[in-house]
Structure 1
Amino acid sequence: MAESILTALFKPDEFFEEQSKKEASLSIPLGIICVYALLSGIAGYQMAVLMAPMYEIIAEGYGEIIAIFGAIGGFIGAALTWVVVSVIFFLLSMLFRGEGSMKKVLEAVGYGFTPLIAVAGIGVVYLAMIADQIQVTVVHDIMDPGAIEAAMGEFMAQPAMQEYTLLITVISVIFFIWAANIWYFGIRHARNLTARDAGITVLIPVAIYLIFIIITSGVFV
């Protein structure tokens, strides 16, 4: 398993060319997604714990429940991302008369999530390191959107959270480019596409997403 993952990471063209001759197998990709989803769930739990005091007036005693929902949301969201990305690549490749099953696409996309495990892991570690530096403004009126927006603004404007946002944005861009390289070769072989068609199928959606996260993060504005 480790050899397959390493080959996919550093020799994706060679790896997926060989995989295209075999039946699709989701065992390793599913394991990769489970690790990524688990780390995302931990990050969701951490963030929910940090933000729970913001709503302590109306949710007193329910902080742990809020944190658990944060963890569940992080886990499910990460797993759904795998499916959504796979569907997007599959549908776009249909424009170029791509061949190959959806299962093959899920396999290729799953391997491509390996670099993103590093992003999730670094985020978890860094959040744990800065947790004691975070202060939260209590929202006294949950029905007041302005109060919630102001509290969230103060939360994200703290130096520790700004550093966290910058770190996650930078490493997300770096590791998403790595993931895109894996997806490019994976989809090219999984759907039997030309280099041009695989590039359009994979690189354009990834570029749009990266531009989106850079803009919405606000770290370079």
Structure 2
Amino acid sequence: MPSVLALLTDPDAFFRTRVPDPSLKGPLAVIVLIAAANAAAALVQSRFMSQVFESGGMGGGFATALQGIIFVFVIFGPFVIWLVYAGVFQGISALFDGDGEFSTTLAFTGWGFVPSVLGSVASIAINYYRFNVRGVDVPDEMSMEAYRQFSQSLQTGPLVALSATLALVFTLWSGFLWTFALKHARDLTLRRAALTIAFPTAIGLLATLRTLLVALEVL
């Protein structure tokens, strides 16, 4: 059975050899790594978020509770996204006469998130530099005008553009892996597999592209 390295070098062979035994252990580990990286990124931003809540006049207890909710979301979010993508892929592939168990689609979809692990690690580094090294000025009082300017500053700039550009690359990479994943998970031709993953992947690409354009102040 090919090593995980084969996923990056020969995804067609990687998924083909896993059809008889589509274990969820490896994909689950991938999603856990993403969740852990997201949690680390949230911790990196925690001091900054506390300053934002304080500037907005939120009490310490409310701010702590809100940060806790955010923390839970970033941890469990990747698992929900994994299930949603697998479900959408399963449904769309049925339109192309796909044949295969949902458990196989779920497992193979999970492997397609491997680029997101790299993206999450890159996000930690960028956010650490942005919020803990360079720093972001938080207004002492969050008036409507101050909030507007502050919000704009968070959405623009070279670091935001860098994050968005990397996200585009990693999303395209995931789409490439998912094409071969669905080819073997649902017994599709390569063309039909590509069509299966096209719409969900395009939505992610368009959302990230908008973030990039805003960061570059094009929109």
- TM-score for the superposition, normalised by structure 2: 0.86
1:174 to 161, 169, 174: 169
How far apart are the structure 2 equivalents of 1:172 and 1:154?
23
> Which residue in 1 is equivalent to 2:88?
88
> Which residue in 2 is equivalent to 1:190?
185
How far apart are the structure 2 equivalents of 1:43 and 1:10?
29
- Offset at residue 173 of structure 1 (A): 0.8
Tell me: CA distance 1:138–1:70, structure 2 relative to 1, closer, same or farther (3 Å): farther
Partner AA of 1:33 in structure 2: I
Q: 52-61 or 167-176: which moved more? A: 52-61
> Which residue in 2 is equivalent to 1:144?
none
How far apart are the structure 1 equivalents of 2:122 and 2:22?
31
How far apart are the structure 2 equivalents of 1:27 and 1:186?
16
Partner AA of 1:177 in structure 2: L
How far apart are the structure 1 equivalents of 2:114 and 2:106?
13
Q: Give CA deviations for 1:116-167 in whole Å, capped at 9, x if unaligned.
A: 11111111112112224112125557xxxxx3x85264144159x6233211
Q: Give CA deviations for 1:32-65 in whole Å, capped at 9, x if unaligned.
A: 1100111112223433432222221222365554
In structure 2, stretches of 5+ residues that fail to align are none
Partner AA of 2:84 in structure 1: V
> Which residue in 1 is equivalent to 2:147?
151
Superposed, which structure 2 residues align to 1:206-221 within 5 Å? 206-217=201-212, 218-220=214-216, 221=218
Superposed, which structure 2 residues align to 1:23-38 within 5 Å? 23-38=21-36
Partner AA of 1:134 in structure 2: V
Superposed, which structure 2 residues align to 1:134-145 within 5 Å? 134-138=136-140
Tell me: CA distance 1:49–1:80, structure 2 relative to 1, closer, same or farther (3 Å): farther
Q: Give CA deviations for 1:49-104 in whole Å, capped at 9, x if unaligned.
A: 32222221222365554433322211111221111111111110011111111110
Tell me: CA distance 1:139–1:45, structure 2 relative to 1, closer, same or farther (3 Å): farther
How far apart are the structure 2 equivalents of 1:190 and 1:139?
54
Aligned 8 A contact 1:55 1:138 in 2: no
Tell whether 2:105 aligns with 1:105. Answer: yes
Tell me: CA distance 1:198–1:151, structure 2 relative to 1, closer, same or farther (3 Å): same
Partner AA of 1:18 in structure 2: T
The SS at the match of 1:4 is coil
- Report percent identity of matched pairs: 25
In structure 1, stretches of 5+ residues that fail to align are 142-146
The SS at the match of 2:4 is helix
The SS at the match of 2:100 is coil
How far apart are the structure 1 equivalents of 2:166 and 2:126?
12
> Which residue in 1 is equivalent to 2:11?
12
- Offset at residue 28 of structure 1 (A): 0.6
Q: 36-45 or 119-128: which moved more? A: 36-45
The SS at the match of 1:19 is coil
Work out the number of aligned pairs and report it. 212
How far apart are the structure 2 equivalents of 1:152 and 1:93?
43
Tell me: CA distance 1:197–1:150, structure 2 relative to 1, closer, same or farther (3 Å): farther
Aligned 8 A contact 1:165 1:219 in 2: yes
